[in-house]
Amino acid sequence: MSESRPAGRFGAQLEQSLDAVADCLLQARRALFITGAGISADSGLPTYRGVGGLYESETTADGLRIEEALSGEVFAVRPDITWKYLIQIEENCRGAQPNAAHRAIACLDGHLERVMVFTQNVDGLHRAAGSREIIEIHGNLQELQCVSCGHEEAASNFAGREFPPRCPACRGILRPKVVLFGEMLPEEPLARFIDALQEGFDIVFSIGTSSIFPYINQPVVFAAGSGVPTVEINPSRTPLSDIVDFYLPLGAAAAMNEILGRAGITCD
């Protein structure tokens, strides 16, 4: 990686950053990837807010902000409203396949001692790509649970179901095993993440997330303050952009392809 490289297509500063990130990745044994909706944009999924977002208006057709419609408080009294928007999200996810960014992260499992994915996404694409150590901190849209009796079942898609869906065991209301707005994060996955942070990583990536929640941005801030190389991949700037060592204003798939290519890491 030390040899001179011909002028690239990204501009000198970004070229240098891409090379530097590739060098850091080659020296790492343990990598953490914190991902948000932006990593799935190249799979055709909307980012919900921002450019190409699913919910750009201030309120939904029901007169609620989307954060209210998808809240635990509204689900408790009007599960039909919450399910209306859960269905919209699931329909936008239906048929989506992992893109080059998901596959690149999964590929690194075969090259590094440890690769952890800590994702806000409920689309299951990291899992589909084959990543081995994943914390889906907001849950997974394809797993349902009865709020009355606890019955659980898998749901590859929601097509053809009644809504709100009913439990086959007790006719209670089913809900996806996801964290709705206003609900607490699941304790066990969060504890596993904290344990992993304490064990330490050699490089930390933030990819496609607005980084507004403390549990998303603080691990990156802490790593940066501890001298661990930090990388943000996001076409739009976030609160982390001036904190990380390397800000790459690219889409996730393009950036990860460049980084692995420059590191000489090949995937099947």
Task: Look up residue 147 and give its DSSP letter.
Answer: T
Please determine, for residue 61, whether its predicted confidence score (pLDDT) is greater than 90. no
pLDDT in tens, 158-205: 888 888 999 999 999 999 999 999 999 999 999 999 999 999 999 999
In the chain, pLDDT over 70 holds for what percent of residues?
92
Q: pTM for this one?
A: 0.89
Alpha helices in the chain (DSSP H): 12-27, 66-69, 72-77, 79-93, 100-107, 125-129, 187-199, 214-225, 252-263
Per-residue confidence band for 57, with pLDDT thresholds at 50, 70 and 90: low
pLDDT at 47 over 80: no
Q: DSSP readout, 153-191?
A: EE-S--TT--SS-B-TTT--BEEEEE--BTSPPPHHHHH
pLDDT, position 205: 98
Q: Is 151 a catalytic residue?
A: no
- 31/133 Cα distance (integer angstroms): 11
Q: In this structure, what DSSP letter does residue 74 have?
A: H
Angstrom distance (rounded) from CA 36 to CA 210: 8
Torsion of CA 167, 148, 89, 158, to 10 degrees: -10
Gap between the Cα atoms of 215 and 135, Å rounded: 13
Q: Where in the chain is the domain with CATH 3.30.1600.10?
A: 46-95+141-178
Structure tokens at 19: 């090379």
CATH class, domain 46-95+141-178, is alpha beta
Count of Cβ atoms closer than 10 Å to residue 261 Cβ: 13
All CATH 3.40.50.1220 domain ranges of the chain, comma separated, are 8-44+98-138+184-268
What would the CATH number be for the domain defined by 8-44+98-138+184-268?
3.40.50.1220
Give 256's contacts (C-beta < 8 A, 6+ positions apart).
100, 101, 104, 105, 207, 233
